[in-house]
């Protein structure tokens, strides 16, 4: 068993396991043992690699944010025209890897964790700033001074549609959710014109 170079594999599978467990249990009240067992290792090993439960959860948060960032980058890379950037960002937010219930549940819980852990708060703030900035880049040429307000609205709408996937029974499916956000954008632009 003990091969060399196990660390990255273990870290990765523990992070995955943490996200899945948070998704399964529905809260951050998961034990290190549960996470470790799902990853197929002992809880001692989890501590060996991460130092503490908090670090495991923080790494999981970082991973989730990375997944999201990857999706955004992928969608933006495919864009040819500047005015399609906004659509790309919206699509990224509803793309499948980020939109699984476990991931959404984890995300929801990390909103909570950010109220306790400064480091989690810092990471989420980075995400928030980046999203806002991305939206503004797309909105400013079209709306001028009205851009910030629409950006705030769009960000809130995306957030709301996102977490309602797991908090509101009968929430719209991903495609519909995406369409609602796109419609918000279209309507806001039309209203401003």
Determine, following the binding rule CB under 8 A, whether residue 6 of this chain makes contact with its own copies.
Answer: no
By a kind-dependent CB cut-off of 5 to 8 A, residue 53 interacts, out of DNA, its own copies, none, with DNA
* Binding-site partner at residue 78 among DNA, its own copies, none, CB < 5 to 8 Å by type: none
Total residues interacting with its own copies, rule: CB under 8 A: 48
From the list 85, 63, 86, the residue with the least C-alpha distance to 14 is 63
3-state class of 116 per DSSP?
A: coil
Out of 32, 113, 139, 178, the only residue in the binding site for its own copies (CB under 8 A) is 113
Smallest gap from Cβ 101 to its own copies, in A, equals 10
**Long-range contacts, stretch 90-93, CB < 8 angstroms, 24+ apart:** 90/154, 90/158, 90/178, 90/181, 90/182, 90/185, 91/178, 92/68, 93/68, 93/158, 93/162, 93/178, 93/181
Q: How far apart are CA 13 and CA 9, in angstroms?
A: 6
To the nearest whole angstrom, how small is the minimum distance from the Cβ of residue 52 to its own copies?
16
CB-based contact 101:23 (threshold 8 Å): yes
Q: Of these, 70, 76, 142, 163, which contacts its own copies (CB under 8 A)?
A: 163
Residues 14, 108, 123, 143: which binds its own copies (CB under 8 A)? 108
Instruction: Show the site string, 23-52: x = touches its own copies by CB under 8 A, - = not.
Output: --xxxxx-----------------------
C-alpha to C-alpha distance for 175 and 173, rounded to whole angstroms: 6
Residue ranges that bind DNA, judged by CB under 7 A: 1-7, 10, 29-33, 40-45, 47-48, 51-54
């Amino acid at each position: 068993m003990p091969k060399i170079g196990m660390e990255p594999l273990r870290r990765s599978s523990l992070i995955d396991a943490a996200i899945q467990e948070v998704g399964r249990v529905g809260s951050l009240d998961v034990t290190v043992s549960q996470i470790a067992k799902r990853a197929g290792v002992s809880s001692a090993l989890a501590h060996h690699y991460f130092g503490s439960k908090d670090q495991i959860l923080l790494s999981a948060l970082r991973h989730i944010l990375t997944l999201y960032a990857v999706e955004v980058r992928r969608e933006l890379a495919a864009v040819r025209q500047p005015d399609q950037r906004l659509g790309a960002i919206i699509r990224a937010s509803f793309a499948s890897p980020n939109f699984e219930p476990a991931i959404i549940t984890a995300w929801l819980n990390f909103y909570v964790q950010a109220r306790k852990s400064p480091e989690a708060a810092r990471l989420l703030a980075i995400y928030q700033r980046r999203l806002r900035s991305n939206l503004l880049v797309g909105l400013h040429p079209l709306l001028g001074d009205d851009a910030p307000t629409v950006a705030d609205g769009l960000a809130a709408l995306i957030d709301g549609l996102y977490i309602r996937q797991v908090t509101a029974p009968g929430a719209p499916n991903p495609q519909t959710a995406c369409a609602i956000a796109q419609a918000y954008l279209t309507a806001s632009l039309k209203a401003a014109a």
